Amino acid sequence: MTDFRFLTLPDGRRLSYVEFGKSDGYPVLYFHGTPSSCLEPAMIGEEQFLKHNLRIISPSRPGMGQSDRHKNRTFFDWVDDTIALADHLGIDKFAILGYSGGAPYTLTCALKIPERLLSAVIVSGAGQMNQPEVKNNLDLKHRIFWNVADKFPFLLPIVLKKMKAYREMSDEDILIRFEKNMPNADFDTFKQNNRVALSKQGVEETFRDMNGVAMDVRLPIRPLGFDLGAIKFPITFFHGKEDNTVPVQVVEWMVPRIPNARLITYQNDGHVSAICEHFDEIAEALLKRVPA
C-alpha cells in the first residue's frame, strides 16, 4: 500500500507527497508530468533509486492527486510549495528532477532558489505547449489535446474524463493501443516491470479532481513568465529524439537560451523510455553537485 504523506502549507492548503528510495539518501525533489501525480516515479522503479542511494520526494501539484487546488497559481507559486516541503522535511539543499510537464517548475526553481539546489535535471521536458516548435512537430492526438487546452478550455474536463476511463481497460487492450500510438522504445518500456498496472494506479490517483487537473493542464500553454536567459544555475536536459509527446524541438529551442544548460539526446528513445531506460546517466547528473 502506498504511504501517502501530507503537509499543511502556510496558506492552509494540503500537499500530498510520496517518498521512494532510501530514507537517508541523497535528496531529490521529483516534479511530475502533466497530467500526473506523486506516484509517477514508481514507473522508473524503486530498485533504481536504491541503487544510486537516492531519496526521491515526489509531491502532487495543486489540484492533482490528493493535493488541494491553488486558485490562479503560476509556475512561481510552486517555488513556495517546494521550499515549504523541503523545510518541513529538514532538508537544506536538494536536487530537482523534472519530467515532462514538470520542466517549467524545475526551471522556475532553478531561477528563484539556486542557493537551495544541489543539481537540476529535466527529462523529456515540456515548454510552452502552444509554440510553433511544439505544434509543428506533434502527432495529431497530442496536437488536438493542447489545442483544446489553449482554445477550448471548457472542453478539457470532457477530454480528461476520457483519459481517466483508461484505468478501466484491460492490460491487454492498453498494450494494443500503446503499440499503435507509441514509439517502439516507449512500447517496449511499458511492457516491462508491471508498468501498465502502475500507470493505471497513477491515473486513478491523478484524476481525483477533474477541474484541478484542468487547471494544471492550462498552465503549460501560457508564457513561462520569465526570461530563460536569467537562469544561471546549470541544468542538464535528457530527451529522446523519437518522443511524440513532447517533440525534441521543444528543448532544442530552450537549451541554447539557458546560459548553463546542456542537452543529451537519445536517437531511438521516446518520452517514457528516456527516463526509464537511461536512469543511470540521469542519476549521475543528479549526483554531480554544483559547487556552492
Give the rounded distance of the alpha carbon of 235 from its chain centre: 15
Task: Tell me the average pLDDT across 236-247.
Answer: 96
Residue 165: per-residue pLDDT: 79
Range of the domain at 274: 5-287
Per residue in 60-113, pLDDT (tens digit) is 999 999 999 998 899 999 999 999 999 999 999 999 999 999 999 999 999 999
Per residue in 184-213, pLDDT (tens digit) is 999 999 999 999 999 999 999 999 999 999
Q: Which three cell numbers stand for residue 123?
A: 527529462
Residue 69 lies in a domain: yes
Of the candidates 78, 85, 62, which has an alpha carbon nearest to the alpha carbon of residue 112?
78
| Contact call for residues 220 and 101 (beta carbons, < 8 A) | yes
Number of domains in the chain: 1
Per residue in 84-98, pLDDT (tens digit) is 999 999 999 999 999
Residue 57 lies in a domain: yes
| Contact call for residues 66 and 208 (beta carbons, < 8 A) | yes
Task: Tell me the average pLDDT across 167-190.
Answer: 90
Residue 292 lies in a domain: no
pLDDT at 1 over 70: no
Residue 272 lies in a domain: yes
Sequence-distant (≥ 6) Cβ neighbours of residue 198 within 8 angstroms: 39, 42, 43
Q: Which of 197-206, 233-242, 258-267 shows the lowest per-residue confidence on average (mean pLDDT)?
A: 197-206
Question: What's the DSSP call for residue 291?
Answer: P
Q: What average pLDDT does the structure give for the chain? A: 94
CATH of residue 121's domain is: 3.40.50.1820
Per residue in 123-158, pLDDT (tens digit) is 999 998 888 878 788 888 888 889 899 899 888 888
Residue 180 lies in a domain: yes
Sheet holding 261-266, edge to edge: 5-8, 14-21, 54-59, 26-31, 94-99, 117-123, 235-240, 261-266
Residue 276 lies in a domain: yes
DSSP 90-133: T-SSEEEEEEGGGHHHHHHHHHH-GGGEEEEEEES----TTSHH
Q: Which three cell numbers stand for residue 140?
A: 495529431
Residue 167: per-residue pLDDT: 77
Residue 212 lies in a domain: yes
Residue 213 lies in a domain: yes
